[in-house]
């Protein structure tokens, strides 16, 4: 039996060289960001541009409004994407960010040259090389993106550079007072560890026989909330140390509609996390493939927060940060309607998509705990049980798969 437990280091997402890798199965994340989160992301970037580019560039003009010679050293903007992974979403976020800076430089007629350092931050197991190979073969720079965006624009004066930063975002990974903009999109649902009480048979939160949150067990939900708030506070404290005064932190995270209900009451999570995952575990236990104790000692370190739970953490840091936006976006469709309808007409495609999506997120975790053979067996069962679920969708028992998203835009105050 493998020795993974609540205090073990998380292995990260499925690597890039497999058909069920995160890079090939993150279409829903990309859709959710572009359809629902991007306007807020751009709003946060506007704050950064106004604070660190537009105001600093005003020194380029004299009292008569005549342009002075631009200084020799360019304006510098340092941006970090926490939990970037190596999928196309990381590249999309960088492209949107660079496009915004370049557009602002043109529309505001900023005189200074600008250099952007874009840092991709994730666990050491993340395939950073795959991410950089997607930029261009000869190196991890973003300059080719800048060239594409600015094609036909003369004298744009923007350069961009990329860097990999391995480490948990629940710790400090960058220099103090070095960061102008931090973004964390669809990553805070990963906890630093499984709540310890879930693995303690003497605790009210003991979760034996279950592998995630059960709507009938409020003590289990409470344990997840405590762990999330502990992690979130550490996350915010680390970012506050890394950001400069006036720096902006953008967060988009999976959420719950109601504070007193567990994530699995939302249909998307009930169907695949409670129904399918739980059934696969139970079936393998019943067949003697997984031991009862093995199941008892495994829980997914995954949690969908409620805005009020994040607000509580931010209230503890109210002297250090200002909340510019905290908003819950409800019933966000996981996939475009036409894509979903096409999948409903193809049972195998539906099952394959959802199995690969789940494998991209959780396969490394299961492999560390169950080993390669049992993990492959597990996902074969997951595929089969997902096919069984399609009839419910076809007959209208379930609405289109949707999730809730909480958006937070925070500014670091004066120290």
Scanning 275-306, the segments in alpha helix (DSSP H) are: 278-286, 292-296
Domains and CATH numbers, the chain: 27-412 (3.40.50.150)
Q: How far apart are CA 412 and CA 266, in angstroms?
A: 33
Q: What is this structure's pTM? A: 0.88
Q: How far apart are CA 38 and CA 33, in angstroms?
A: 6
What pLDDT is recorded for position 139? 44
Contact 146, 108 (CB under 8 A): no
Helices 337-344 + 372-394 axis angle, to 10:
100
What pLDDT is recorded for position 292? 96
Q: How far apart are CA 108 and CA 115, in angstroms?
A: 17
Judging by DSSP bridges, how do beta strands 114-122 and 158-166 pair with one another? parallel
Q: How far apart are CA 53 and CA 114, in angstroms?
A: 8
What pLDDT is recorded for position 8? 44
Scanning 134-217, the segments in alpha helix (DSSP H) are: 143-149
In three-state secondary structure terms, 135 is coil
What pLDDT is recorded for position 111? 76
Q: How far is the CA of 53 from the CAs of 28, 63, 108, 143, 225, in angstroms?
A: 33, 19, 10, 19, 39
For residues 298-335, b (16+ Cβ closer than 10 Å) or e, as one string? bbbbbbbbbbebbeebbeebeebbeebebeebeebbbb
What pLDDT is recorded for position 391? 66
What pLDDT is recorded for position 273? 67
Closest by Cα among 237, 216, 211, 233 to 305: 233
What pLDDT is recorded for position 4? 37
What pLDDT is recorded for position 238? 98
Per-residue pLDDT of the chain in tens (415 residues, 90 and over written 9): 333 344 445 655 545 556 656 556 566 788 899 999 999 999 999 999 989 987 776 544 444 445 555 555 688 999 999 998 776 778 888 889 988 998 888 888 877 888 999 999 998 887 787 777 766 544 445 666 666 666 555 557 888 888 899 999 999 999 999 999 999 999 999 999 999 999 999 999 999 999 998 777 899 999 999 999 999 999 999 999 999 999 999 999 999 888 776 555 555 566 666 688 999 999 999 999 999 999 999 999 999 999 999 999 999 999 999 999 999 999 898 888 888 778 777 888 888 888 888 888 888 899 999 999 999 999 999 999 988 877 666 655 555 677 889 999 999 998 6
């Amino acid at each position: 039996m493998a020795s993974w437990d609540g205090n073990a280091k998380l292995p990260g997402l499925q690597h890039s060289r497999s058909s069920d890798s995160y890079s090939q199965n993150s279409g829903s994340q990309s859709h959710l960001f572009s359809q629902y989160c991007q306007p807020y992301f751009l709003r946060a970037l506007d704050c950064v541009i106004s604070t660190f580019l537009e105001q600093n560039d005003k020194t380029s003009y004299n009292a008569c409004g005549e342009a002075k010679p631009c200084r020799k050293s360019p304006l510098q903007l340092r941006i970090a994407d926490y939990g970037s992974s190596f999928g196309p979403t990381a590249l999309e976020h960088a492209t949107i960010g660079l496009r915004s800076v370049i557009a602002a430089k043109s529309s505001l007629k900023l005189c200074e040259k600008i250099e952007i350092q874009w840092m991709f931050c994730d666990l050491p197991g993340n395939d950073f090389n795959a991410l950089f190979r997607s930029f261009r073969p000869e190196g991890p720079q973003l300059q080719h993106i800048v060239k594409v965006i600015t094609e036909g624009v003369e004298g744009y004066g923007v350069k961009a550079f990329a860097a990999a930063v391995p480490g948990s975002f629940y710790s400090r990974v960058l220099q103090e007072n070095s960061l102008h903009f931090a973004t964390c999109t669809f990553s805070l649902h990963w906890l630093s560890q499984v709540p310890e009480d879930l693995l303690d048979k003497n605790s009210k939160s003991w979760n034996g026989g279950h592998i995630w949150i059960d709507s009938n067990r409020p003590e289990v939900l409470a344990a997840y909330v405590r762990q999330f708030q502990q992690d979130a506070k550490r996350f915010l404290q680390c970012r506050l140390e890394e950001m400069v005064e006036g720096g902006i932190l953008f967060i988009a995270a999976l959420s719950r509609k109601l504070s007193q209900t567990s994530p699995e009451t939302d249909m998307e999570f009930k169907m695949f996390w409670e129904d399918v995952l739980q059934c696969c575990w139970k079936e393998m236990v019943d067949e003697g493939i997984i031991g009862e104790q093995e199941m008892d000692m495994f829980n997914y370190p995954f949690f969908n927060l409620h805005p009020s739970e994040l607000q509580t953490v931010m209230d503890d840091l109210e002297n250090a940060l200002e909340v510019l936006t905290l908003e819950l976006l409800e019933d966000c469709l996981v996939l475009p309607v036409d894509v979903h309808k096409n999948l409903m007409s193809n049972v195998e495609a539906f099952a394959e998509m959802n199995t690969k999506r789940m494998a991209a997120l959780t396969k490394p975790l299961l492999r560390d705990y169950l080993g390669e053979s049992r993990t492959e067996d597990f996902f074969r069962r997951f595929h089969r049980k997902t096919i069984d679920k399609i009839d419910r969708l076809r007959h209208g028992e379930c609405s289109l798969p949707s999730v809730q998203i909480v958006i937070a835009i925070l500014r670091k105050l004066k120290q």
